[in-house]
Amino acid sequence: MESEEQIYINIEELKGDKRYRPEETGTKPVRTDAVAGKQTETWPLFKVSTVCLGLLCFLLLTTAIIISILYKKDFNQLSRDLANHTAENHRLLVQYQNLTDERDKLQTSLTVGKCPDGWRRFGCSCYFFSTSVSTWSRSKQMCQLHGADLVIINSQSEMMFLNKVRAHSKFWIGMDGMSSSYSNKWTDGSSLKTTYWQDGHPQIRHMRYSPSNQICAAFNSFAVGSFVRNIKSWTSESCNLFLRSVCKKEADMSLTSW
């Protein structure tokens, strides 16, 4: 009987302990020493990790800044070197061009020689501009005495040269005297590559053939500014007119300068 009462009392005590449970009273459970010790150990590790991460970021940032400074310095140096090399290259190109021109002049002097005093050179030919006037035949004879002949014009560039040397002048050129038929040949027998006759020229029609009315060709020069493409400057004149003349011959190799 006493044992049954003792068991009942123990059961009642167990039931009465429920009001003191943390779940029913709302009170927090008391930490054990093991949990508190574990949190105490975790906190220093977190601080160490944070410090290490900060140091790593600082080192990375410092490295990036140093690399950027070095890159900018190298870039500026390379830019200056490039500018210097470009300027040097340009200077060498100019020097090379000057030396090339000088070489060409020397080669020209060695291959085509010089012109006599009082003559002008254009290309590989020498030209003499008379200051006196004469008929076409007398002008031709005068040129032949100097080993030349009346000028034969082979290109418009040669015409421009003649025009610049003696503007506003009319002079005989080396085209055979023409009569009832028009000859397409120069005095050396070569054919005309092109012609620059003025409108209405050559005037050889309806002319009675005789030694006194032969027709010869003359070149009429103009002011330099009026010289344009396809200019018409040749005229047919009486061979007995007194005009200036231009003699032409190849440069003399015996007059080559060394």
Check residue 51 and give left, alpha or beta (phi > 0: left; psi -120 to 50: alpha): alpha
Give the DSSP H/E element, type plus range, for residue 84: helix 33-112
Residue type at position 159: M
Q: Indicate the burial class of 116 (C-beta count within 10 angstroms; 0-12, 13-18, 19 or more).
A: middle
Check residue 168 and give left, alpha or beta (phi > 0: left; psi -120 to 50: alpha): left
Segment 175-204 shows an average pLDDT of: 71
- Beta-carbon contacts of 233 under 8 Å, excluding residues fewer than 6 positions away, are 159, 163, 196, 198, 219, 220, 221, 222
Better pLDDT: 221 or 9: 221
Report the residue count for the chain: 258
Q: How far is CA 136 from the centre of its chain?
A: 49
Instruction: Give CA–CA dist 220/26, Å, rounded.
Output: 129
* Least confident among 117-126, 139-148, 203-212: 203-212
Segment 211-221 shows an average pLDDT of: 79
Residue 88 token pair: 């040097």
The yes-or-no verdict on residue 88 having pLDDT over 50 is yes
For all residues of the chain together, what is the average pLDDT? 76
Q: Quick one: pLDDT at residue 16?
A: 52
pLDDT confidence of 5, banded at 50, 70, 90? low
The yes-or-no verdict on residue 125 having pLDDT over 70 is yes
Better pLDDT: 52 or 113: 52
Which stretches of the chain are assigned E, i.e. beta strand? 120-122, 125-129, 149-150, 170-172, 215-220, 234-238, 244-250
Segment 245-251 shows an average pLDDT of: 91
Condensed to tens digits (0 to 9), the pLDDT of residues 154-185 reads 888 888 888 877 767 889 999 866 654 555 67
Q: Quick one: pLDDT at residue 204?
A: 60
